[in-house]
Amino acid sequence: MMRRNNIVVFRFLFPLVSSFILIMLMLSSAYASDAKKGAALAQGLCAACHASDGNSVIPSNPILAGQHYSYLKNQLNYFQVKEGESKAKRENAVMLGIASGLSSDDIDNLSAYYSQQKIKPSYASNIELAKAGEVVYKAGDDNRGIPSCSSCHGPRGLGVPGQFPRISGQHATYTASTLKSYKNGSRANNNQMMEISSRLTEGQINALAEYLAGLE
């Protein structure tokens, strides 16, 4: 009796388990090969500016390592001029030229690759300035109608995949410049950040950027 039951269980379970394993193998190899293709593209097209693992050492070029997949994918699309539109939502001469040549598969693969790299965070060099930034980051500024940044980006600036990008450990030069782009409208791909940046003073922008560079 015992033996028969075992055989029945085996007959039903074996195909189930083996097809499950097969599906897992197919999924994992698809995922791995995407990032692999992305790595090859990145070496040829992006490494000169963002470094081969996405840890750019040039302060005006953002660090891409460890950024969320969906955020990277969105930005590469925003840099492109879409059909029926006269300009890109996120205007940048350098990235326009580069992103225009990428297919949607390339964008997927590159985003998978960079999101899987480990960030080597930047650092704050002006501690007084960083401290002033910390106050706005955590509490916002009621007088100017600025919400706390941590309410969306989190206390450590790690963001939420699919919703809010990681912003900690980024070069201060890049962060300040992109907040100014939201403010002046050349980065017009997100209403929340355009609204918030329009209320920040230049001094607050520089302080926040300095704080974020050293936040981990």
> Is residue 173 within the footprint of ligand HEC (CB under 6 A)?
no
The stretch near ligand HEC (CB under 6 A) out of 6-14, 15-23, 69-77, 120-128 is 69-77
Number of neighbours of residue 160 by Cβ within 10 angstroms: 12
Q: Which of 8, 13, 24, 94 binds ligand HEC (CB under 6 A)?
A: 94
> Is residue 76 within the footprint of ligand HEC (CB under 6 A)?
yes
Q: Which of 65, 124, 158, 164 binds ligand HEC (CB under 6 A)?
A: 164
Q: And the tokens for 208?
A: 């926040």
Q: Which is nearer to ligand HEC, 5 or 191 (CB)?
A: 191
> Is residue 213 within the footprint of ligand HEC (CB under 6 A)?
no
Q: Which long-range contacts (CB under 8 A, 24 or more apart) does 161-165 make?
A: 161/68, 161/69, 161/70, 161/71, 162/68, 162/70, 165/67, 165/68, 165/71
Q: Which of 51, 119, 207, 208 binds ligand HEC (CB under 6 A)?
A: 208
> Is residue 196 within the footprint of ligand HEC (CB under 6 A)?
yes
Please give the biggest Cα pair distance in the chain.
81
> Is residue 160 within the footprint of ligand HEC (CB under 6 A)?
no
**What's the CA gap between 135 and 92, in Å, rounded?**
31
